[in-house]
Structure 1
Amino acid sequence: MLTGHEFEEAIVGFKAYLINQEDGKVVSRFVDMDESQLDSGEVTIAVTHSSINYKDALAATGAGRIIRRFPCIGGIDLAGRVTASADSRFKPGDEVLATSYDIGVAHHGGYAEMARLPADWVVKLPAGLSLHDAMALGTAGFTAALAVVRMEHDGLTPDKGPVVVSGATGGVGSIAIEILAKRGYHVVALTGKEAESDYLKGLGAREVLLRQSLDLAKIKPLGKETWAGAVDNLGGDVLAWMASTMKVGGALASIGLAASFSLNTTVMPFILRGVSLLGIDSVNCPMAQRAEVWRHLATDMHPADLTSGAAQMVRDIAFADLPAAFDDYIQGRIKGRVVVNVAA
């Protein structure tokens, strides 16, 4: 197997999954490219693994207006080995990962055998993580861990009460449940998928609350105090319900908008119960905090189910099988995480 400069010199072309626009429609396909077609940046990487996020599925299928520049190689996450670097922080052979920023939306991303990125977007793989595990986590795991870090910084501790997680079967939700459970929290998984109750309990959820059991048409400004913490992936009425049912001093992390980007609520939970609404932005997170969160994911927040475990949270697919996987995300059939073995 070639490594370092030998690997760099051997590569002439590479395979990529390119998202383009033709006659006003988004069209995605595998293409052959060469290094001259990569975007600018100081660090060139031989990509070994990527992952699939809901955002990736929206971008590749055109179901969401995600891509800001055509053509663009998809994949907002990538991990691999440095083949060339103009930045002294990285050298050929270094194992690295990168998520977010403009990757996969306005800068060629992780669905390719090679990538070139600005050095300020690249994180050295922390000890305790493999390249595969880094992508089993990816943006979803980073976002979940960032939410927990923010909530605990706000004062959340296991003794203060239960934590509810919506969108529980998705990537962020699944990893958030396992991280929280590992840290001793009483986790309640909120889901619309009753059939996945065993999966959620396998991740560490103490209880499973069905979304259809909630009367979201009648959300009180202040409901029964229930949650010390909450992680919301949905937005809309679910987020409003969570806000109304938080305990005094509760921390509510807003992560996603899978249901709606709107929020119809009142100021009462925030001024009468001191609830904190924490916006979790994984894209623009400063590098110092980004590296620290990844250190947590390699140590005290490392989920056990990345490679094994009863819940079977992670599924691997071949690079060639990538296009067929997107529909499960669009149709809401996915659970856990999917790792794309780019170099296999």
Structure 2
Amino acid sequence: MTDSFKAFVVDEDSEGTISQSVRDWPIDKLPDHEVLVRVHYSSLNYKDALSATGNKGVTKTYPHVPGIDAAGIIESPGDSTFDEGDKVLVTGYDLGQNTFGGFGQYIRVPANWIVPLPDNLSLRDSMIIGTAGFTASIGVHHLRHNNITPDDGSILVTGGTGGVGTMAVSILSALDYKVTAATGKLDQSSFLKNLGAASVIHRDEVQDESSKPLLSSRWAGVIDTVGGIMLDTALRQTQHNGTVACCGNVLGHELHTNVYPFILRGINLAGMDSGNCLMELRKKLWNKLASSWKPQNLESLSHECSLESIQEEITKILEGQQVGRVLVKLPD
């Protein structure tokens, strides 16, 4: 076994200045968990960008290796029920937050964080999907659990060009839903339509700041990735017995709304917590993502980067310039 491995390491000096570098990291400094996994692929998420720039709400102590997603092969199973050579993936829990994550060639994690790689899904494709696709699948699960069908009307996806948004558009269109994608990047309309969006609208069309308790019904369901005024507006525009699933707070963590969407239209508001999703549902959704829910056009909605080029991708995501998914390929 190797003594060290390549990793994207974030440091904090005595004055609180954050820096990043790709360097060797001792394998014996990984956390003391059961299972050692050789990472082949990871992906870049907004939470990784926060961790890499010193956000203490995500990562409390440094040096640290971000990467809330990882897919690879078990090198040492410890006392777990896994075997050496098993293909697996890990998303969420504490990976990449305060436990060294997927931006390194190795991770050591608890066995109960690990999902066996489903049949018909490659390690590479699993990380193009990653936390973003898994989060989107929870939203789709809420829609279907509440009997929202393609015949009920259009599904709104906010933050359409982001990671969760693009995945939601692709999954829903694969399931024959009519999807309306809302975005501030109308120059990406062709990209979204190639993913399956039936229509693309500017995000301003889903930001009503009036005091009206209800608005005209437009959506059978909503997958909201941005929160704030857009979530409030979407709730007031959702039709009777519709479902709104939410996961983001880019437009703010506070929700200013009223009870009328709930008591006059029977709206369901559902949260999408991918980090701590129960393992039974987690495995069920990953198996769906490997089969009937598999996002279409995976390669076209992603691009690949190396450890050395992660920093420029982090800058893009923090500036709101990132489109689609960023796949991180670890060195062989």
Is TM (by shorter chain) over 0.5? Answer: yes
TM bin, normalised by shorter chain, reads over 0.9
Q: Deviations over 1:200-255 (max 9, x none)?
A: 11110101111134552225211001111000011000000000011000000011
Given candidates 126, 137, 143, the residue that maps to 1:145 is 137
Aligned partner of residue 104 in structure 1, secondary structure: coil
1:155-170 matches, cutoff 5 A: 155-170=147-162
Aligned partner of residue 51 in structure 1, secondary structure: strand
Given candidates 31, 48, 51, the residue that maps to 2:43 is 51
Amino acid at match of 1:306: L
Given candidates 327, 330, 341, the residue that maps to 2:315 is 327
Aligned partner of residue 324 in structure 1, secondary structure: helix
Conserved 8 A contact 2:34-2:80: no
The residue that corresponds to 1:60 in the other structure is: 52
Conserved 8 A contact 1:19-1:71: yes
Query: Is 1:296 the counterpart of 2:284 in the alignment?
Result: no
Aligned partner of residue 139 in structure 1, secondary structure: helix
Distance 1:314 1:334 in 2: 10
The residue that corresponds to 1:204 in the other structure is: 196
Query: Is 1:248 the counterpart of 2:240 in the alignment?
Result: yes
Aligned partner of residue 297 in structure 2, secondary structure: helix
Distance 1:321 1:191 in 2: 26
The residue that corresponds to 1:233 in the other structure is: 225
Conserved 8 A contact 2:174-2:296: no
Amino acid at match of 1:217: E
Given candidates 75, 79, 83, the residue that maps to 2:71 is 79
State the percentage of identical aligned residues.
39
Query: Is 1:19 the counterpart of 2:7 in the alignment?
Result: no
Conserved 8 A contact 1:49-1:80: yes
Aligned partner of residue 188 in structure 1, secondary structure: strand
Distance 1:64 1:86 in 2: 31
- Give how far 1:259 is off: 1.6
Query: Is 1:217 the counterpart of 2:209 in the alignment?
Result: yes
Aligned partner of residue 304 in structure 1, secondary structure: coil
Distance 1:74 1:321 in 2: 14
Amino acid at match of 1:328: K
Amino acid at match of 2:285: V
Q: Deviations over 1:18-59 (max 9, x none)?
A: 223221233322231122100121110111111001111121
Please list every run of 5 or more consecutive structure 1 residues that lacks an aligned counterpart in the other structure: 1-8
For the structure 1 residues 109 and 214, does the alpha-carbon distance in structure 2 shift closer, same or farther, using more than 3 Å as the test? closer
* Paired positions, count: 331
Please list every run of 5 or more consecutive structure 2 residues that lacks an aligned counterpart in the other structure: none
Distance 1:141 1:215 in 2: 25
Conserved 8 A contact 1:49-1:343: no
The residue that corresponds to 1:343 in the other structure is: 331
- Give how far 1:304 is off: 2.2
Distance 1:64 1:213 in 2: 35
Distance 1:261 1:324 in 2: 27
Query: Is 1:274 the counterpart of 2:274 in the alignment?
Result: no
Q: Tell which deviates more after alignment, 104-113 or 57-66.
A: 57-66
- Give how far 1:65 is off: 3.4
Query: Is 1:28 the counterpart of 2:20 in the alignment?
Result: yes
Conserved 8 A contact 1:219-1:244: no
- Give how far 1:123 is off: 0.7
Query: Is 1:110 the counterpart of 2:102 in the alignment?
Result: yes
Aligned partner of residue 142 in structure 1, secondary structure: helix
The residue that corresponds to 2:86 in the other structure is: 94
Amino acid at match of 2:184: G
Amino acid at match of 1:339: L
Amino acid at match of 2:12: Q
Conserved 8 A contact 1:194-1:210: yes
Distance 2:22 2:292 in 1: 38
Aligned partner of residue 316 in structure 1, secondary structure: strand
1:172-187 matches, cutoff 5 A: 172-187=164-179
Q: TM-score, normalised by structure 1?
A: 0.93
Q: Deviations over 1:60-111 (max 9, x none)?
A: 1236732133222110000111000113421111111001100111101001
Distance 1:236 1:208 in 2: 20
Conserved 8 A contact 2:8-2:307: no
Distance 2:177 2:111 in 1: 37
Amino acid at match of 2:273: D
Distance 1:87 1:99 in 2: 21
| TM-align CA RMSD | 1.3
Distance 1:264 1:198 in 2: 33
Q: TM-score, normalised by structure 2?
A: 0.97
Conserved 8 A contact 1:47-1:343: no
Moved beyond 6 Å, runs of 4+: none
